[in-house]
Structure 1
């Protein structure tokens, strides 16, 4: 035993018998509160001599070392001192010959398989510290530590809402207690530890959520648990009409593009290319092909005109290829797979050949193609102003005009005054 501890006991104990009792208790407490003993003092180890002196004074029934003097000698706060005092008292009672059986929260939790163990023990220790915070309660219930431990354990166990509840009578019978004092102690815990009960219920709900959530995630994330999902997915893919709809739309587009002569003038975008050549397209000629058919005739006429041989030759009457191609185009076939309305074929009346006799340059002229998208449309947004900023600027301009109409232009006013002064 260190000399500093002996000197501290001598300064606290006024009587020799108190000093000797405190000395023996300090020797036992140092042996039974060491590492691995289950009674760890942690930060309260420095106050062990003063705690032993107070316990010796209580055991002898004198007032040499009251509780407040022992606490001031330890230089510990109230909560830490009370916790260290209860730990030392439990360690000493468990080793006294003929002493009552002293239980710990760890043994009770292991006996009843309460989980999670660390969180349960921590909650029970907090409840015990809160209950023994009052000096009157501590004097009344600190003599029988085992009964207090059992009461705190039963009270905490009941708040955790376990599937298999325990009864006060069965707990008292298992550890040889009288059920009535145990019930009275549980009622006292209900009155003094209301805040602890709320916190225990919250912690219990959080533990249940953390225990259930990973299991659900594991079941939902495992791909091999339900082989019927893959078969169901394949069956739904077979039953979906996405492919049929795509084919129907492709057919409709190809028929609509050949429904009239106006549609041939519309350029095709890269995203709507015709993958299948239409039989109508094979027989008919597009304007581009018609231009190639007319080109040899126009070239020969041009050479003859240069030679001067057919300057005054009358124009020959030939049937127009444009009329022949138009007459060859059959009426569009309505598709039964789409509800869209098809355009009615525009019948071109057959006229005599002299009505189509036009000058040679007009035959070469290509029909104007209509553009579907204006140029520089993608860069238009970079040249435009913010609509919100324009609205703010317009409001500011209106405000300036209103103020100027009421009070005049200050720049002009001060300018006239400056010119007058000069």
Structure 2
């Protein structure tokens, strides 16, 4: 029975015997490099190892028989797992071949050796493309590209990439341009210099992995240049700062007072209050020092003054003020403690009962007694201004047991009851009747008990839950019409389904 890996290599590289033999050799090395204990575990990608080795063999030999997408599909692995396994296999093969390469010797950096004639020629070959794209200092950038080119050339064997000198030059140029933060688009660059795009991208990926020392060295050189530019004094600051020669001349120009040789009256006098040494006149004043603080902002005034704007009180001082509207009373009133509120409420009750003179005369004819004030039921006023609310609660009664009682709801009393009651009975705060004494009710109205019951405030229309059957949506109506047509057609063709059960 043939080996499945050999069979897969034969089917993938059927027309290329050289690539097939190279794939078999790489497969043997990959199995030993990714075995247990090597540190390169590909447990979830072992099934695709043969396809990965076939792809690496085609890249190394320089043929385009197998691309990356076909190799991924042949490996039966997911794209993420295939990519991770491919990187692991590359690193394992590079680590296995590492001792034979001189680039792992940290003491010798061959990519920095530019003294030979070949290296100088290589460095000069980068000058035209640098000057064309203006990447900065041509000689310095060419040196960095020469370092990248030499480092990439050392890693070609380990990465199994077949590339020409032109491919390496263009890859080194784009890699250094990316470090300088002036990247170029790869596709126009490859088309201009006739370089294969997929090979160019493989070289860039290899440079990112293997040229870390070169990248670090280039970044260090850039930092040194930026520090030199920052610390270098500018021409304007050199002109403003005083020089050493001018300061020393100003200090040494102070003249000394010449003393007389022979003592005389002028020399024997007491010295004056002025200092013997006078300050020299400086014709060049020292310039003020540059301070990091920001200059003060000049205060600017407005070109014209804001005109005076009168207030609302000043504009309408001659207009007569209208009285404020009356405040609406609360829906439920409580018992008041002072007599002033009692009188006000009784007056309001009288005004609500009616404004006719006949009613007032009849109320005045009724004698007021203390018994009626104590035992008669309390009348409830009717508020005409609120037609929606015809019921009010009576004030609380403080019982002997300390608990508050509420009287039931009542509708507007009949006019006969209002005419027979005294004015004192219209008080809100009057004493309520005892439990054994009943309210006076008219004899000719037997339905007074029904009127005292509270009316129903909230109601539901009849058959409200079935309103959806009479109000259909347009879509539902159309579907129901189609259903009726189908029902008629089916019953005409097959008859009613339950006709036999009815019989």
Structure 2 length-normalised TM: 0.24
- Normalized per residue, the structure richer in helix is 1
Tell which has more relative contact order, 1 or 2 (C-alpha 8 A, sep 6+).
Answer: 1
Larger Rg: 2
